[in-house]
Chain A
Amino acid sequence: MTRWTGFFASPEFIGLSNFRRLLRDGQFMTALGNNFIYTFVAGLVVMGLALMYTYILSGTRIKRAKFFSNLFYFPNMIAQAATAVLWVFVYNPNFGLLNGLLDLLGLDAMSQAWLGSRGTAIPSISFALIWRSMGFYLILLLAGVDKIPGTYYDAARVEGASDILIFFKVTIPLLWDVLVIAVSLWIINSLKFFELVWAMTKGGPAGQTHTMATYMYMMAFGDQQMARPQLGYGSSIAVALFVISILLVGIYRKAADRDAVQY
């Protein structure tokens, strides 16, 4: 509710002007849209993959399951800034690994500046995000599966149920609480998604890959060549981010609320 650079002079009270400005700020709307893409589209892929690998790695289908789950978790152990630098090199249009690979496969017509426009940058960042995040949700779900008593599986097998049927009829219902927590965490994390985007594109090109968090940071603290940052306006973006997070998580928790399954 203030106009303030965050330096010495007193903030000037301007009421709800910052919030009114937010509603007609095209850059903020783009950032909000990007957040929804990360939350819902990338979220679907992350949760889908995490569930798929939970199915594959749980039980006795695969040897050394622990090794593989740790392998998937490994990207999560690398600092996000380092991950971002790695992917920036992969996507580099001139000497990047991805374009190099496409050239090698004779698909050089598909080579492009992956971070150069919104159409390719959002999927490229999403891919890096999915690569980095999936292992964390996989570990959560696997921990949940470990807590399910083996007798349920034994009983289901005696009754002749297939592995896939057991997964959908036994594992997922008994994993429901963990799954709800995992999705809630994903919603919160994806809405405040910052590090990868900031380190990979700084919200560019033309602010088209901003998330609410990166846009908030740029407004509140400026970028390398922006004098007079606007901490007051940045704060209003932070408030909007908080309210949207509460609303989305609240709606999701309400929708996912169901009686505990007992067998």
Chain B
Amino acid sequence: MDTVYTSFLKMLDFSDDEITEIGDDWKIAANAIGLVDKDIEFAQNVWIPQYWDISMKGVRLCIAAYIRELIDILKISEFKKQGKKIIYGISPSQPACYRAIKLAGGDDIYVGYPDFVIANILGPFFNKQSLFSSDDTYLSDKCRHCGLNRTRINMSLNTIIPNPDVIWSWGFFCDEGRKTEELIECMSDNQWNYITSVMPHDAAFGEQEDKNTERVKYLAEEIRHGHRSIEEHTGISVTAKHMFDALKEYSECIRKLDELNKLVTNSRPQPIGGNELGLFGNIVGLTLNTGLDYFNEALDTILDEVKQKIENNEGILPYDSPKLGCHFTPICVPWVDRTFLQYGVSLTFSSHVSFSKINFLPFDYLDPYMISAQIWLRNANSVNLGSHAERMSEMLKEYDIDGMLYGFFSFDRWLGTSRMTLEMIEEKSGIQHFYLEGDYWDDRNYKQEDRAGRIETIAYFLKSKKLLSRNDG
């Protein structure tokens, strides 16, 4: 008999056999993260159709891949009882390094990012931030903390996820993540083991860090040390082959994602919206315990569908509508993308999870850890501000956009230096930048009615400029 839970899975193209197999697990998982029958009904009948183009099979399959991972997350306690080793990662990080551990451990371990997956399910598909608000005692949202850390701490306090054997806190980018582990450890009755990998942000302004062999070597050793520490905690040994295999998996996925980014952003009319593109972009910083197969199937499907739309000249807005690139399209508050669309402007690629030519250059090393480190140091967001500005402006030139949208990280990186960098990127690329104060993870402090006026102003600005640019030939 159909229930709201099986009906939801049907909407996402789960087969009848699979629904029979995982239907109960899905209900248990949903309930465990605070979703009840009416939330599932609301998502299926209102929220998802309103903010996600589920007429596209690729989108349905991608949402299904997230749901599969959620079901796996809520089985971690069971895995632990079976004696499997449990390893958590945090985002932003380089997923291939975590994937290599999974390849080494196979079915005997769980490797994933529970906080990231759950935060990217609750807001985008259910409009529910229960895990952010369930306990504001620690990392209160009023103090502007990252939604991921708030989710992780609340998941731990509410025992939604058990303590891992070890959590590898990738501190090359995020400096709050490792402090959160420390806080959880202080509060936890049981041991909350964590490893932190960091490197000093002391490169000279404008230095090409991926070309500095000493720096690449230092980072490679930090990553290698992380794997060694995980081996000490779990007994699982990562070899060079595991690393190569993981890097290969991710590079194939990233090439496809790059093709999708370019096809969508550089086509007029634009075939799919910023939300849909953002949904796929997350894989750049995410390891799934369920693997990449489901995700790759979704990515292949959306690529075919996008190509078909381009051939049919179909789009979400008329041919010459303005397009905005985005630092990181806030899919957890999906009304942002749709409010822009309502005013005749589309969001496109997210620069945070996109690539430029430099990302696809041959590597200078043969050692997989050195390759991994070089990949990280080619990422525009991982390097010093001068190099960041240079790489961002190079990246923006590869995209057909009328402006860039920043913001949604008021809890994090909006500091004076970043503002100065934006001015540099604007100057170098010639592309107008806008800033919209907001929170990527939830909208309790930045409501749609408060932001709509700003979005409307940006839309009038861009549409006026578009009208006046026609005489440029």
A and B interact physically = no
Show the binding face of A for B, using Cβ within 8 Å. none
Show the binding face of B for A, using Cβ within 8 Å. none
